[in-house]
Amino acid sequence: MIFIIWRDAAKVGRIRNMNKRIFGETDGIRAEVGKKPLRPNMINNLGRAIAKHFRGGVALLGRDTRRSGEWMRTEISAGLEACGASVENLEVLPTPAVQKIVAMREDANCGIMLTASHNPATDNGVKVFAADGDKLPDEEELEVEEEFFKIDLGEDIDLPDARLKMITREDAIDVYAQMVEDELELGDSLRGAKIVLDAASGAGHEFSRAVFEGFGMEVDQIDPEPDGENINDGYGALYPDRMVAEAKSKGWMGVALDGDADRVIISDEEGRLWDGDRINILLATYLYEKGELAQDTVVVTEYSNYATVKYLKAQGIKVEKVVNGDRFVAQKLQELGAKLGSEYSGHIIYLPWLKASDGTFMALFVQKIMLEKNARLADLWADFNFMPSKQWGIKVAEKRPLDKIAGFGEAIAEAEVEFAGTGRVFCRYSGTENKLRILVEGEDMELVEKQGKKLAKIIEKEIGV
């Protein structure tokens, strides 16, 4: 049986976005630095709009290691303060740590994170959190936009020539570590444990290492010192090969985070890569065995490998699927009364901790499981094989409805015939970039390559950059 998932993502995005003009589909604002809305006057006005929406109060502000975060911090702070908000700068901090601290602080009205997550340093963005640390729902993002467009933009200026100031607050590390201890009850149990860390020269470079070392772990960190330009540059969750090789060489567990440390990809001691699907299986079966997997259910996205779904169901675990985006995983978990979900890319959502993913926390959770089972991570590898798959990400000039692209529908139909019930194709426009993502899975990798390349070639010809 072939699983053809042909989603007109542009149309779905318009419906889900409810006509948003600044905020994106899945994760706040994200764009190329210097282009709208990442212009100094627009970032200043965004601060004003956020302050108006939350009626002043205290705003906690974090950032990752992009040098553009320096001038963006100045502008958004000025806007917030101009409209009555008090700004506390949390400095360089992972996105989930900002969320946890906002939720913990009774005086915080909102939180703001300046990051473009796994994107290159040429991009940046803004994530906004409510007083409980959750991402704003679509309705509130629209309300912020409404305030934004009421304000005169005023005169724009050239982009400031800012440089990265690498500051990580020790008190933020201590507060976060205590919250982890309260949730996982690790005590001194991890003292002497060893991990290889690749933090993508991002927000977790100093922070995550300090947290791990605070629990007594020995850390071999391999990502370069952040310089404002090297975030996600050949290191981190998108580029885990170095981490995997080092973990295998040392016989340690390896951890790769992305730029704002909400994603995590791990390696076991034998050099096998654990993506979000594999990590989800480990956590799901652990919680299920303990009778702690709420509703005996996990939530995954349409990108999860079909073999993952099949394996989980064979263990007696129910699986629900949603469209891509960790916020949609979290929403479905709340709707079902479940508590564990994931994206294959490394976003793992565990609701007792946070309604979003936290790479540092998840690495510690995996260590806790290893300790309880008195096992190496390699010994916990689930005995199944992923269905061969490959993904193509094609930059596009426009997000034209897929059924309006000449030859694309015919190519999908031909794929269905050739796979003869042994594969699937899933196509979706990115919610944060001008890209079409084509995922092809099948038992025959040669056929996967053939069909994926054919579809990618059509897209490149018709709407490619």
The phi, psi pair for 125, rounded to 5°, reads -170, 180
Contact 268, 261 (CB under 8 A): no
Full DSSP string of 9-29: HHHHHHHHHTS-SSS-SSSSE
In our burial notation (b when 16+ CB lie closer than 10 A, e otherwise), range 315-328 reads eebebbebbbbbbb
Active site residue 345: no
Distance of alpha carbon 463 from the chain centroid: 27
Burial environment of residue 271 by CB neighbours within 10 A (0 to 12, 13 to 18, 19 or more):
middle
Amino acid at 55: R
Full DSSP string of 366-414: HHHHHHHHT--GGGG--S--PPPEEEEEEEBS----GGGSTTHHHHHHH
DSSP structure class, residue 303: T
Burial environment of residue 418 by CB neighbours within 10 A (0 to 12, 13 to 18, 19 or more):
middle
Active-site entry in 68, 77, 86, 117: 117
- Give the dihedral sign, CA 124/125/129/135: negative
Contact 111, 58 (CB under 8 A): no
Scan for tokens 């290889």, then name that residue. 196
Q: Which helix (H) or strand (E) holds 448?
A: helix 445-463
Contacts of 142 (CB under 8 A, 6+ apart): 18, 19, 20, 23
Active site residues: 117
